[in-house]
Amino acid sequence: MDHTICPGSKILRSPKPASIDCPSCGYAVEIWSDEIRAVCPRCKKNVVREGIASCLDWCKKGKECVGETIYNKYMENRSVSVRQQLFQELETIAGSDKQQVDRAVAVLNFAEEITKKENGEWNIVVPAGILHNVGTFTSGASGNQDSGDVSSIQAVRKILLKVGMRMEDIEVICNVVAHYRAPACGEAASQNCKIIHDAVLLTDLPKNIEGKTPEERMKIIAAAFLTPTGAEMAKKSLL
C-alpha cells in the first residue's frame, strides 16, 4: 500500500506536538498529535485532548496502512475519549444508583489491566467493560435481568450509537456483553469476551470466595478464569 497518498497515515506516522490549556490550572500542556492525554506538570491533573476523527475510525485497511503498533496505540487513545462519554451516559441512566457506576469502574480497571497482557482490543474491551451490566438498571429492567437479553443489548446499542461508535464495533461489543457470562463465554470465545468475563470475576471474587478454604479458593480460580493474566491477578489478590 502506498502510504504517501494517505494524509491520515502521514499524521499518525509523523506526530507533532500541540499546546492544550489545562482545564484545572490553565497551564499550557504539550500533547502530541498521536496522543489524547497527558499529565499537567503544574497541578498533576490529567489533561485530555478532544479526539479528532481519523481515517482509522472507518477505513478497513487502517491497520495494514499504519501498522499494528500505531493502530493499537490509536485505538487505546481513542478509548480514553469514548470512556468519558460512556461514563456520562451511564451516570445519567443510573441516576442515584452510584453502586452500579462504581462496579463499572472496577470491571473496566480489571479489564484494562488484562488487556495490556492478553492482546485484547481496546475499542471493544473499554465499552464492553463499562456497559457490561447496563441492563440491570435501564428503564424497566429488574435487578436480576440477564445482561444478554434483548432489551439489555438494545440499551447497549443505543448508547454506543449515541457516542458515535463504528457499526462493526457496536455489533462486536454487543456480542461480548451478551455472552461474557459462563457458560456462553467458554474456551472458544473471543479474547475480548474472555477479558470481560475475567474482569467481572475479579470484581466479584471477594464475594464468591467468602467462607472458602484456601484450597477451595484456588480450585475456583483454576476452574473459572479464562485468561492466564486474570487467573494470576486473582491469585495475587488472595495473598
Q: Is 231 found in the same domain as 132?
A: yes
What average pLDDT does the structure give for the chain?
Answer: 82
| CATH number of domain containing 76 | 1.10.3210
Are residues 57 and 92 located together in one domain of the fold? no
Domain endpoint, select from 33, 66, 99: 66
Q: How many domains does the chain have?
A: 2
DSSP string, 170-187: HHHHHHHHHH-STTTS-T
Model confidence at 127, in pLDDT bands (50, 70, 90)? very high
- pLDDT value of residue 49: 67
Same domain, 19 and 87: no
The model's confidence at residue 145, banded by pLDDT at 50, 70 and 90, is: very low
Beta strands in 123-178 (DSSP E): none
Split at pLDDT 50, 70, 90, the class of 36 is low
Phi, psi (degrees; rounded to nearest 5) at 71: -60, -50
Cβ-Cβ contacts under 8 Å for 177 (sequence gap 6 or more)? 128, 131, 132, 134, 147, 148, 152, 153, 156, 196
3-7, 47-51, 141-145, 190-194: the lowest-pLDDT one? 141-145
Residues 128 and 234 in one domain: yes
pLDDT for residue 203: 95
**Domain final residue, candidates 10, 39, 66:** 66
pLDDT attached to residue 9: 64
Place of cell 498533576: 44
C-alpha 30 chain-centroid distance: 25
Same domain, 36 and 83: no
Of residues 161 and 149, the one with the higher pLDDT is 161
Residue 43 has pLDDT above 80, yes or no: yes
Tell me which of 38, 66, 94 is where a domain ends: 66
Q: Are residues 1 and 53 both part of a single domain? A: yes
Q: What would the pLDDT profile of 206-238 be if each residue is shown by its tens digit?
A: 998 888 898 999 998 989 999 999 999 999 987
The crossing angle, in degrees rounded to 10, of helices 228-238 and 98-118 is 120
- If asked whether residues 38 and 156 sit together in one domain, one would say no
- Do 84 and 149 fall within a single domain? yes
**All three cell numbers of 151:** 432489551
Write the DSSP assignment of 119-153 as a string of letters.
T--HHHHHHHHHHTTGGGTSTT--TT--TTSHHHH
pLDDT at 105: 95
92 with 32, same domain: the answer is: no
Distance CA 150, CA 222 (A): 32
Q: What is the pTM of this model?
A: 0.70
Q: Among the ranges 34-43, 80-89, 187-196, which has the highest mean pLDDT value?
A: 187-196
Please state, in angstroms and rounded to a whole number, the distance separating the CA atoms of residues 46 and 69: 24
Residue identified by cell 482545564 is 23
The answer to whether residues 101 and 53 belong to one domain is no
Judgement on whether residues 58 and 79 belong to the same structural domain of the protein: no
| Residues 163 and 219 placed together within one structural domain of the fold | yes
d(CA 226, CA 44): 37
pLDDT digits (tens, 9 = 90+) for 78-109: 767 788 889 989 998 888 888 889 999 999 99
Task: Name the DSSP class of 55.
Answer: G
Domain assignment of residue 145, given as a range: 67-238
Given its phi and psi angles, is residue 119 left (phi above 0), alpha (psi -120 to 50 degrees) or beta?
left
